[in-house]
Structure 1
Amino acid sequence: MSAVMVEGLRKQYGTVKAVDGVSFTVERGEVFALLGPNGAGKTTTVEILEGHRGRDAGHVSVLGFDPATGGRAYREHIGIVLQEAGFEEEFSVFELVRLYAGFYPRPRDPDEVVEQVGLQDKRDARVRTLSGGQRRRLDLALGLVGRPDVLFLDEPTTGFDPSARHHAWELIDGLRSLGTTILLTTHYMDEAQHLADRVAVLRAGRLAACGAPDTLIAAERASVLSFLLPEGTAAADLPPLTGRVEVRGAAVSVETARPAHDLHALTGWSLERGTELTSLTLSRPSLEDVYLDLVGEAPS
């Protein structure tokens, strides 16, 4: 049984269809990223899954619970890291993590969690003294201390420096290895590509695509070969290529679904003519390229 099942989910505010017939599943132990521009419906979807917002139609199940009616029994099995949360400023880091641990039947050791998120040096510091990045780590600690079976992460590394981001990635990878199911929202496409087993892209309340990052990349975008025309040659002199060729002055780019074939053709042609293909590169498209295409924000 899937950890999360969403079928035909709908939520409307007045005339605005925030979520319009969205369906997807998240398997147990999977890291699943929900992506989309502001207003696409991802926050509403996640809030419905967390039990914080009601739905107008559709079926939702998390760990076999309906979040709308699961109550305490449901909340004991999930962890939530909000994009922005309020803290009691006079607590110390450890005191707050210990307090949250008391809300759950099988919590993790608070000291272990504080160390895991990199706040051991701030263990006894008051929350009001923490920087923005340190508060974000505290958010993460509070979401982890209950030993959740499903963890909802809303923009978990916002405000992190590069080192802290990579530490958070290692932490999420570790949770996956322990079997924790993670539903992640992020605006960092490199984060989604690195962490997620699968991603779903929402656009205007509808599901635009869903699948493994590499699968979406292969389906939506071709690789690009780039080089400069050798002196004394023109585009018309190039060998037959399977990809779409674009020439701007001496710069040539070939968008191709068969990069090995076209690269072999080009290098063979160059060797036969005794020339060099200056600045020859083969670029693999990224999840960000695919995302921008899917949400209609790709540069023209």
Structure 2
Amino acid sequence: MTITSTSSLPETTLKQGLLMSLAPVGRFLSELWRDKAGFAGFAFLVLLVLVALFAPLIAPHDPAAQSVMARLKPPIWMDGSAPGHLLGTDMLGRDIFSRLLYGARSSLLVSVSVVALAGSFGVMAGLIAGYKGGLTDALIMRIVDVQVAFPGLLLTLLLVAVIGPSTTTIIVVLAFSNWMIYTRVVRGIVMSLRQTPFIEAAEVVGCKSSRIIIKHILPNLIAPLLTLGILEFTNIILAEAALSFLGLGVQPPATSWGLDVAGGKNYMMIAWWPITFPGLAIAMTVLSINLFANWLRVSTEPAEREKRYARGRAAKMRRTKA
């Protein structure tokens, strides 16, 4: 009579559970790898998030520490550089590399907070307007039309100047200036979904409005809202950089990329590095987000996926014939 050991069963079950949990991640990365531009953008964004999270551990210097003796030192690969300053120093002798790392934290904090606040309020308003219709829809959309008609940048500058510049002020003001985009998109999708048979069937059988919205409508909004949120992320990064450049954004001793560009603009003719590296960081971040958002839009829309699949099949057939 043989006795089967069960000591390895929990370990086997744990491995199987781990593999099953990692399977969606593997499929996501495998599909993303087919679009090299989208994969490069996603990889840069992941690196940016990690750098922002671990900036205190990575940064070689305090980003606010000044040294008059080390001011405007060039990057380490140029003559006259200062030891320990990889990308050189700015006009106050602060380490540019350290300020880039901490500036990423400011940009990501503002952008994520604004997208979360504006998206939450805008989606809720769009759901109510699109599903309720009638007077409720008319009232919400008239408010949207009035705010859209007012220049967004002017409204933002006015509110920040009145309230006073700070990181919290930027988040609140930018969220207030951008919620209408989500409302319009969500309202349009909800109004088209209300005409579909599965929504009408749910209403006929007596489902509550809250259940229909949560169980049937919201899942259909995930794909377009993901793409919209990522694209709006780029606009918020640029808006934060512009406000900081004008002195109405992040305030010293905190740092941001826009603030560094503003500080280095008066020295760009004698020292290009204080303004170049923050500008490159902004440009590369925006480009990476757009590349990833383009892949996400294609991968979440069935029509676009069919087009990409057809192009891939046609290219494969041409190579086979050749």
> TM-score by structure 1 length?
0.23
Instruction: Please tell me whether Structure 1 or Structure 2 has the larger radius of gyration of its CA atoms.
Output: 2
Q: Choose between structure 1 and 2: higher strand proportion.
A: 1
Using the size of structure 2 for normalisation, the TM-score is 0.21
More helix by share: 2
